[in-house]
């Protein structure tokens, strides 16, 4: 069956290591769109950030952001959202704080934290390259009460960063055990992220599949990390990047080249452009 919806992860997949989309990937995406295929950015990043990339490429398909906790149109309209409850936020912050780990929260507009984030933070680095009116908001508050009082219903995800894999795995396991009401996945080797139960890229792709009145067989998903597993398992065609984790490669039907080698373009050419 022909592919009619392509869902593409950003970091480690669509983006090269300099956070740019290669010309070859852009060309393949535009060729697929020209054939009538819907192409959706499907990311753990905040919506406002993902929308910048969608506009740069010229995409009009709704965007899946915050690991599936939000689906929004490219003009800013909300299609689906599943924000964290205040008790979810409290549980996440209490456990990560007890372990002395850096944690922050995300909303569509940007990040919320109780301490200044390091200069190495992805969004701080990205803001240096963006125009002032495009920059991702980085809000630093002085207390948990401020978070609860001002951002209830807007917080979509919590992110925890750990200095080494052992500590990361320990705290990740603790949150999974103590907070069964949370989804817990990693998007990078030094982090884990929490969303409200039911939020995942796989569930969001399922929602988007229904939105376009398609079947899973008509969907291709491309990714590289643990948070991509659910959508790769849902799709009729699950594609792992050449730089993907081993569990993602094992779950995929096809392994393409790396994000540095036009892996997205190679997958699109193989399953879409060469199937005319």
Catalytic residues: 9
DSSP string, the chain: ----EEEE-IIIIIB-TTS-B-HHHHHHHHHHHHTT-EEEEB-SS-HHHHHHHHHHHT--SPEEEGGGTEEE-TTS-EEEE-PPPHHHHHHHHHHHHHTT-EEEEEETTEEEESSPPPTT-HHHHHHTTS-GGGPPEEEE-S-HHHHHHH-TTT--EEEEE-SSHHHHHHHHHHHHHH-TTEEEE-SSTTEEEEEETT--HHHHHHHHHHHTT--GGGEEEEE-SGGGHHHHHHSSEEEE-TT--HHHHHH-SEE---TTTTHHHHHHHHHTGGG-
């Amino acid at each position: 069956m022909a592919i009619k919806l392509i869902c593409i992860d950003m970091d480690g997949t669509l983006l090269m290591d300099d956070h740019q989309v290669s010309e070859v990937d852009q060309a393949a995406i535009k060729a697929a769109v020209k054939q009538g295929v819907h192409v959706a950015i499907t990311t753990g990043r905040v919506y406002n950030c993902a929308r910048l990339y969608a506009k740069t490429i010229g995409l009009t398909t709704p965007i899946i952001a915050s690991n599936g906790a939000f689906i929004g149109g490219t003009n800013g309209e909300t299609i689906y959202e599943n924000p964290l409850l205040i008790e979810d936020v409290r549980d996440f912050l209490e456990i990560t704080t007890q372990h002395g780990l850096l944690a922050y929260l995300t909303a569509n507009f940007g990040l919320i934290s109780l301490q200044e984030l390091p200069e190495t933070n992805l969004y701080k680095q990205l803001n240096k390259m963006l125009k002032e009116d495009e920059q991702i908001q980085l809000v630093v508050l002085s207390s948990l009460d401020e978070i609860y009082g001002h951002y209830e219903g807007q917080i979509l995800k919590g992110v925890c960063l750990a200095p080494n894999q052992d500590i990361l795995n320990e705290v990740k396991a603790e949150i999974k055990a103590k907070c069964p009401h949370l989804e817990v996945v990693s998007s990078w080797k030094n982090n884990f992220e929490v969303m409200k139960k039911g939020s995942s890229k796989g569930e969001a792709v399922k929602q988007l599949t229904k939105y376009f009145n398609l079947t899973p067989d008509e969907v291709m998903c491309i990714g590289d990390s643990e948070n991509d597993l659910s959508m790769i398992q849902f799709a009729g065609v699950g594609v792992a990047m050449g730089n993907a984790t081993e569990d993602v490669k094992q779950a995929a039907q096809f392994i393409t080249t790396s994000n540095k080698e036009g892996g997205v373009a190679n997958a699109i050419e193989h399953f879409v452009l060469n199937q005319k």
